[in-house]
Structure 1
Amino acid sequence: MGSSSSGTAMSVTPAELGRIGGQLGKGGEASVFDLPGLTYPDVPGPLVYKRYRAVHGSPDSLRRVVAARNKLDVVARGRLDSIAAWPVRVVEENGQAVGIVMPRIPGAYFDRVQRNAGVKQSLREVQNLFIDPARAVQVGRPAPTDEERLRVCRDFAGGLAFLHEELKVVFGDINAMNEVFRLDAEPMVMFLDCDAVRPNGVVAQVRQLDAPDWLPPEGGALTLATDHYKLGLFILRCLSPGTGSSVKTDPDAAAARLDTEGMAMLRRALGSNPADRPTAREWEVRLRRLLGESLVPPRLGEVRVDRTMVLSGQSVVVEWEALEADWVEVVAGSRSTRVDGGPGRGRTPVEPETSGRIRVRAGNNLGVDERELGPVRVVSPPGVHQLPIPMPQVHWPVLDVPGPPGLELLPLPRVDLPPEVPQLFTTGGNGVSWPAVPAPQGVGFPLDLQAMLTESPEVDLGYRDGEGAGR
C-alpha cells in the first residue's frame, strides 16, 4: 500500500473498509455501497465504496488520481471536494485495483421523483436540464429560471477550469449523467466518475468513454480540446431546453440566451478546429459578465478607525476603501455591520462590546479580503455615587426675655381728609364733579356702585346702616 508525498495513505484493503452497508447505486462499470463506520481525517463527511465489476489491473493510474488531491493545500482541496466526488483511496487486493473510496454525494443533489413503482430518491443529473421544464415539474424535478441556467453553466465551466488548471487533468467522459446540479447553493455543479480522469498527456488506466450524442468531431483520444467541445454542448443544451435538446449541436438554438460575444464563443466551441475552442476559464468569465458578477476577488484599500478608545455603549466609525467588493463587513467581537461594497468607499459604524481589534472584510462571489485595525479600548463611563458627609449637631440656646413693663401701643389718630380728584371733563367751561363719597361710617357693603356713579336712587341691598361694617 502506498502513501502520497503528504504522508496520506493512497491505498487500503477491502478489510480496512470496515462494515459495508447497503447498496446506494449501480451502473455498467461498478456498484456503490455505503461505508457507515469509516472516516478519514483528510476527508470531511461520510464515505462510500465504489466496487468495480471487473478489476482494473495495476492501480498506478488510480493512485495518481488520489495523489493529485493529496498534493493540494487545504483551501484547494476544499474546493475540489465541493465540485467533484473525487477518489480519496484506492481499494487494492492482490496487487489489483478492485474499487475506490470517495465522498458520498450530498443530499442536495437528489430529488424525490415519481416512478411507476412510487416515489424514489434519484440523482439530479444534468440531463434533467435538457427536458421541457413543464415535464420536469411533473416528475418532481426542478425547472430553473433563465438566470439559474446561466449560473449552472458558469459553475460547470468553473469546475472544469479548476480540474484543467489546478489538477492538470482531462475529465474525458463529460455527458448528461456524469454531472449533477443543485439550485440552493454554490457551486451548483458536481462532477462524478472522477476515477476515469487522467493527467493531460497520460493514457488513463480506467477507460475513458464518449457517450452517444457527445462525440467530438475529430474523434480519437480524449483531450482538453474534447472537454472544451463537450462543455460547449452542455451550454447549448442547458440554455435551450425542450424537445430534442439532448441531441442539439446547432449553436443558433441558444441565441436568445447569449449575447453576441457568447454566441461567437459557442460557434467556436462546437466547430471542427480543436485549437479554436474557448477554454473553460474563458467560458466562466463570459458567463460571469452576462450575470453581472465580479471577475476578480475583492481587494481592500486604505482602512482606518476614527478612535482607539471609546466609552462602553458608543460606536467607532471605520473608514474603508474596497475594489470589486459586493459587500463590506465591519466586525467588533460578536457584533458586526454589513454594507454594500459597490460604492467603493464608505464610513461604517460598529459598537464594540469589549476591548480588542476591529476586523474589516470585503467579499464577492470569488473570495474575501480581510484586514485588522486597532486595538480599540472600551472603557466604562465614570459612575456617580453619593458620599455620606457627617454634619455636627448644633444646639441653639432658647432665649426667654420678657418685654419691658408698661409698654402699650399708642392709638393712631383719625384723619378725615377728602381726597383730591381731578374733574372728569368740562362742558362749556363747567366741570363735572365726581360723585360724593359717602362717609366711611355710613357705608354699607357691598357698595351700590351704579347708584354712586349715576345718581340713581339707591338700591336696597338688604343691609341696614352699619350692618356691613362688622362683616
Structure 2
Amino acid sequence: MIRKKDLGTLEFIAKGAVGNVYRLPNFTIPGCPPLAYKEVRDIAPGEFSARNRQEALDAMAKTVAFRAGLSQADRGDLDEYTTWPIEMVEDNGAPCGMVMPLIPPDFFVRSSPRAGNPRDLVVDLSWLCAKESQAQNEGIDRSGYRDLLVRIALLAQLVYAVGRLHRHGIVYGDLSLKNAALAVNPPRVKLLDCDAAAELSDPARVQLHSPAFTPPENASGAQKVQDDRTDIYKLALCVIRGLQQGRGVTQTRDPAGLAGKLDAPALDVITRAVGADRGRRPTAKELFDCLEQNLLAKASPPTLRSASLNRTAVPRGLDLEVSWEASGGKEVCVLGPNGFEVTLPDPGTPVATYVITPPASGEISVEVRNAHGTVRTVAGSVQVYDLPAFRVELDSLPRPVMSGVPAVMVPPVLHALPSVPTVSTAAHPAPRIELPSLEPVSNLVQTTKTILPTAPAHPELGAAAARTTESVREMFDQARQRLRAHVAGKVDAAVRRGVSRL
C-alpha cells in the first residue's frame, strides 16, 4: 500500500460519482506507465453514505488483489486493454483510494468549442454515435472514427477486453458508452472505471447500471446482481449504438439498424445478445468472432477471379474489350504495353467490361484495388497489326492511245454537179446520188476497241477500270454519231444545191 503523502503533487483531472481523479507528475512505479490517483470521496449525507464509501474501497482492494495474482503475461494483457487499479493508497493508516494507469494521450482529442476555451477530451464510445452537429459544436474532429471498419475494430476490441475478464471469472458491471476510451491509428480500446469490477463468485458484489443500459432481468427485479450474461447484454448495446449515429441512437436497443453494416449471422448473434432470454445470449467469444469475421471480410484485399480479352488481334486504332470478374474492389486499372494505363471506379458488379484501344502489341492486365490491398492478373496478349496501304491515284489510271483519225475525203462528184438540161422534175426524176462510204469511220471504231485496256488484275481497281472503259466507249459512240451527223449534213447540203440548179 502506498502512502498518500508519497504521491507528491496532485493535479486535478476530473470529478466522478465515487471520487476525484488526479494526475501524479512526480510519482512513478517501475515498469508502469504514467499514473493517476483516484481518491474516494468523503461521506455526504443523502448522497454518499459510509456504507457506499466502504463498498467502493473494498471493490478497489479486490481489483488490486486480482491483478497482483495474475501471471506476468495475463497482467500485461490486462494493462493493455484497461486502466486497471495497480495499488491501494492509505492516509493515516486507512485506505483512501488507489493508483491506476493514466489514460494515454492517444485517447484524447483536442476540443475547440464554439463557445468556451479549447480543452482535451477523452474520446469515448459516445462520440461514435453522437450527431454530427454535436461534434461540430464541440469542435471535435471525428474523421478518424467515421470508417465502418474502424468502428467494428474498436467494438471488437471492447468485446475482447470484457471477454478476457470473463475468462478470469470477473464481471465488469457498469459498462456504458462512457466507460471505454478509444484511439485510432491503430484502433485501440481502454476500459475505464475498472475499480467497480467484481468476481463472479462474490455474492456480495454491488455494481451500478448506467442510464439506458439496465438489462431486463435487473430492471424487472428478477435478478439483483450482475454477471457475464448482463455484461453480454451491455456489450451488444454498445455494438448496436457504436455502429450508428444520429438522433435516438444512444437509446436504441434494436439491431435492425445494423443491416448492411454486419452480415446476417452477426445480426442473429446480436439479436440474441439483447434478448430477454438469458439462456440464448451468446458468449463474449461468439460475439467477438462474428465481429472479427465481418471485419476480416471487409478489410480483405479484393478478389479477382478471372480476366479475358474478346480478341487477340486487332488492326491498329480499333477497339478491344477487356472483361473481368472481381469483388471487393474500389477501383480497377487496365494496363497495357508502352505505359498504357486506364483507371476507373469499380463498377460493383460481379462481371464487368471496358473497351480500350491498345497502342501496341503486348500483354493486357487487370488490377483491382481497395484500401487493404491490390490484386492483378493477365487478361491476355494482343497483336496489333497495320493494314496494307490502299491508294487510288486517278492520274495513274491507264489512258487509251488512239491513232490519228483519217481524213474523210468527199468524192469529187460532190464538188460540183454536172450540167444537165433544164427539165421538169415531174417528167424527169432527180438524179441518184451515191453517199460516200463510212468504212473508214467503222475501221476507226474497231481499231479503238482493240486498243482498250483489259480489266486490271488488282481486284480493288476492277470497278474503277470498268467505269473508265464504259466512259471511253460512250465517248467514241458519241464521236461516231456526231461524225455521221456531220457527213450526212454535208451530203444533204450538196444535194440541195444540186437540186436547186435543175
The normalised TM-score by structure 1 is 0.56
Which of these residues, 2, 22, 25, is aligned with residue 12 of structure 1?
2
Residue 171 of structure 1: aligned partner = 172
1:35 CA drift (Å): 1.4
Structure 1 stretch displaced more, 217-226 or 59-68: 59-68
Identity across the alignment (%): 30
SS at match of 2:201: coil
How far apart in 1 are the matches of 2:112 and 2:90? Answer: 39
2:92 and 2:268 map into 1 onto residues whose CA distance is 53
Which of 154, 157, 161 is residue 156 of structure 2 equivalent to? 154
Q: Is the 8 A contact 1:57 1:97 kept in 2?
A: no
Query: Aligned-pair RMSD on alpha carbons?
Result: 2.1
Q: Which amino acid aligns with 1:151?
A: A
Asked if the contact 1:168–1:199 (Cα under 8 Å) also holds between the matched residues in 2, the reply is: yes
What are the Cα deviations for residues 102-148 of structure 1, in whole angstroms up to 9, with x where unaligned?
01100011111123212111111111111134653563141421111
Aligned AA for 2:199?
A: P
Which residue of structure 2 lines up, in the alignment, with residue 285 of structure 1?
Answer: 289
TM-superposition CA deviations, 1:232-279 (whole Å, max 9, x none): 100000112111100001111111211111111111011001121111
Q: What corresponds to 1:79 in structure 2?
A: 77
Retained in 2: the 8 A contact 1:152–1:181?
yes
- Match of residue 126 from structure 1: 125
Higher mean displacement: 118-127 or 226-235: 118-127
Larger proportion of helix? 2
Matches within 5 A, 1:213-224: 213-219=212-218, 220-224=224-228
Letter in 2 for 1:161: G
Deviation of 1:29 (Å): 1.9
Assess, with a 3 A threshold, how the Cα gap between structure 1 residues 246 and 182 changes in structure 2: closer, same or farther: same
Q: Structure 1: how far apart are the matches of 2:123 and 2:59?
A: 29
CA distance in 1, matches of 2:5, 2:175: 33
SS in 1 for 2:112: strand
Deviation at 1:57, TM superposition (A): 2.7
Letter in 2 for 1:102: M
1:53 corresponds in structure 2 to 41
How far the C-alpha of 1:21 sits from its partner, in A, is 2.5
Distance verdict in 2 for CA 1:97–1:208, change over 3 Å: farther
Structure 1 partner of 2:19: 30
Contact 1:169 1:198 in 2 (8 A): yes
Alignment partner of 1:102 out of 87, 97, 100: 100
Deviations 1:8-44 (A, max 9, x none): xxx2221232x12310121222111121221112x42
- Counterparts of 1:330-341 in structure 2 under 5 Å? none
TM-score by length of 2: 0.53
Contact 1:197-1:204 at 8 Å conserved across structures: no
SS in structure 2 at match of 1:159: helix
214-223 or 134-143, which deviates more: 134-143
Q: Secondary structure at the match of 2:54?
A: coil
CA contact (8 A) 1:21 1:36 kept: yes
The question of whether the paired residues in 2 share the 8 Å contact of 1:125 and 1:180 is answered with: yes
CA distance in structure 1 between the aligned counterparts of 2:96 and 2:297, rounded to whole angstroms: 44
Contact 1:125/1:179 (8 A) holds in 2: yes
Q: Which of residues 29, 45, 51 in structure 2 aligns to 1:40?
A: 29
Whole-Å separation in 2 of the counterparts to 1:136 and 1:146: 18
Following TM superposition, by how much is the alpha carbon of 1:189 offset from its aligned partner in structure 2, in angstroms? 1.0
Letter of the 1:119 counterpart? P
Query: Which residue identity lines up with residue 28 of structure 1 in the other structure?
Result: A
What SS does the corresponding residue of 2:217 show, helix, strand or coil? coil
- Mapping of residues 187-226 of structure 1, within 5 Å: 188-203=188-203, 207-219=206-218, 220-226=224-230
Compared CA separation, residues 21 and 95, structure 1 to 2 (3 A): closer
* Residue of structure 2 aligned with 1:70, choices 68, 71, 76: 68
Q: CA shift at 1:149, angstroms?
A: 1.0
Indicate the residue corresponding to 1:430 in structure 2. none
Mapped partners of 1:61, 1:136: distance in 2: 35
After superposition, the C-alpha distances for 1:63-105 in whole angstroms (9 at most, x for unaligned) are 2211211222222222111111110011124564311100110
Query: Are the equivalent residues in 2 in contact too, given 1:85–1:193 (CA < 8 A)?
Result: yes
- Residue of structure 2 in register with 1:374 after alignment: none
Query: Which position in structure 2 is the counterpart of 1:144?
Result: 146
Runs of 5+ consecutive residues of structure 1 not aligned to the other structure: 1-10, 295-471
Number of residue-to-residue matches in the alignment? 279
SS of corresponding position for 1:38: coil
Q: CA deviation at 1:203?
A: 4.4
